[in-house]
């Protein structure tokens, strides 16, 4: 069960991890931010590593659930690609600190969890590539290398994270989605 205090704990923890880095953030820092004793934090998690693990795999699951629903839809491959972009934009604006973990925080996972994460990331990339391959196969997308196209699409979306973190208040998520889709789709659509 998630309580408001636990929600605050994760929000403050992720903000500090983003600002100071994973290694630069201590449980004591989080306790100071939460105005409580360090011992109280262990009511929420067992360790700082667990904060990373729960947050990272939570946002990862949201992406997988979202893309799975998109892939299973009746949309055309181009429309699916637009929906994937929409999913990324929405989550980047709604959960920027969790997205930052996907970009760089995963490197601090334990060895076994890092291997799990890398498998999950490869599976996600494969799902995007599947949409692109389908679009190429039916003649909706240009006949380009699907692996290269996948990485170009995902790179464009990763850029969004950096930009939205720098200037999130000045960006309109709907406009960002429109512009990214115009850029991505115009490069791949036949």
Q: Are residues 6 and 100 in the same domain?
A: no
Q: Tell me how many domains the chain contains.
A: 2
Residues 91, 176: Cα–Cα separation, whole Å: 13
Q: Are residues 112 and 155 in the same domain?
A: yes
Q: Are residues 119 and 53 in the same domain?
A: yes
Q: Are residues 54 and 96 in the same domain?
A: yes
Residues 111, 114: Cα–Cα separation, whole Å: 5
Q: Are residues 90 and 123 in the same domain?
A: yes
User: How much of the chain, in percent, has pLDDT values that exceed 90?
Assistant: 67
Q: Is the pLDDT of residue 39 over 60?
A: yes
Return the bridge partners of 189, or none: 141
Higher pLDDT: 114 or 175? It is: 114
pTM of the predicted structure, to 2 decimals: 0.87
Q: Are residues 93 and 2 in the same domain?
A: no
Residues 179, 85: Cα–Cα separation, whole Å: 10
Tokens, residue 73: 């839809």
> Residue 167: what pLDDT?
57
Outline where the chain has alpha helix (H). Answer: 4-20, 27-34, 38-41, 48-71, 77-94, 96-103, 111-137, 146-167, 173-188
Residues 52, 108: Cα–Cα separation, whole Å: 8
Domain extent at residue 69: 47-188
């Amino acid at each position: 069960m998630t309580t408001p205090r636990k929600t605050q704990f994760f929000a403050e923890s992720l903000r500090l991890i983003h600002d100071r880095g994973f290694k630069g953030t201590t449980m004591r820092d989080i306790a100071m931010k939460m105005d409580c004793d360090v011992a109280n934090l262990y009511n929420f998690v067992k360790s700082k590593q667990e904060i990373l693990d729960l947050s990272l795999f939570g946002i990862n699951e949201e992406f997988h659930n979202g893309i799975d629903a998109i892939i299973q839809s009746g949309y055309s491959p181009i429309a699916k690609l637009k929906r994937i972009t929409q999913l990324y934009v929405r989550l980047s604006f709604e959960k920027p600190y969790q997205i930052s973990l996907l970009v760089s925080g995963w490197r601090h996972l334990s060895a076994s969890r890092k291997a799990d994460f890398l498998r999950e990331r490869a599976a996600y990339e494969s799902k995007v590539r599947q949409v692109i391959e389908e679009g190429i196969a039916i003649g909706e997308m240009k006949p380009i290398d699907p692996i290269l196209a996948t990485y170009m699409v995902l790179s464009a979306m990763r850029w969004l994270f950096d930009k939205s973190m720098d200037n999130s208040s000045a960006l309109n998520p709907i406009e960002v989605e429109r512009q990214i889709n115009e850029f991505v789709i115009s490069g791949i659509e036949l």
